[in-house]
Amino acid sequence: MKIVKQWIKVEPYDGIEIEKRIERACRVCYRSNDYISQDSYKQLITNCIKSGHESVIEHEKISVYFYGDVGSYKDLTRHRTGTSFSVESTRYCNYSSDKFENDIHFIDPVFIENKENYDFCIEGYKFAEEFYMKMANNGAKPDELRMLLPHGTAAEYVLTANIREWRHILRLRTSKKVHPSIRQLLIPLLLKFKQDMPELFGDIPYDEDFPTEWYAEIKEY
The site for ligand FAD (CB under 6 A) is made up of 78-81, 168, 172-173, 177-178
Least distance to ligand FAD, CB of residue 175, Å = 7
Is residue 203 helix, strand or coil? Answer: coil
Closest CB 101 distance from ligand FAD, rounded Å: 35
Minimum CB separation from ligand FAD for residue 59, in Å?
A: 17
Cβ atoms 105, 2 nearer than 8 A? yes
Strand order in the sheet with 154-162: 83-87, 154-162, 61-69, 7-10, 217-219
Least distance from C-beta 10 to ligand FAD, angstroms? 20
Query: Judged by CB, which is closer to ligand FAD: 115, or 177?
Result: 177
Query: Residue 78 or residue 219: which is nearer to ligand FAD going by CB?
Result: 78
CA angle 192, 16, 191 (to 5 degrees): 10
Min CB(123)–ligand FAD separation in Å: 27
Residue 105 or 173 having the CB closest to ligand FAD: 173
Mind giving me the DSSP string for 122-185? HHHHHHHHHHHHHHHHTT--HHHHGGG--TTBEEEEEEEEEHHHHHHHHHHHTSTTS-HHHHHH
In the complex, the smallest distance separating the C-beta of residue 80 from ligand FAD, rounded to whole angstroms, is 4
Q: Which residue, 20 or 180, is less far from ligand FAD as judged by CB?
A: 180
If 0-12 CB within 10 Å is exposed, 13-18 middle and 19+ buried, where does residue 155 land? Answer: buried
Residue nearer to ligand FAD on the CB measure, 94 or 184? 184
Closest to ligand FAD by CB, 78 vs 134, is 78
Residue (of 61, 78, 97) closest to 172 by Cα position: 78
CA dist 182 to 104, 187, 215, Å? 21, 8, 10
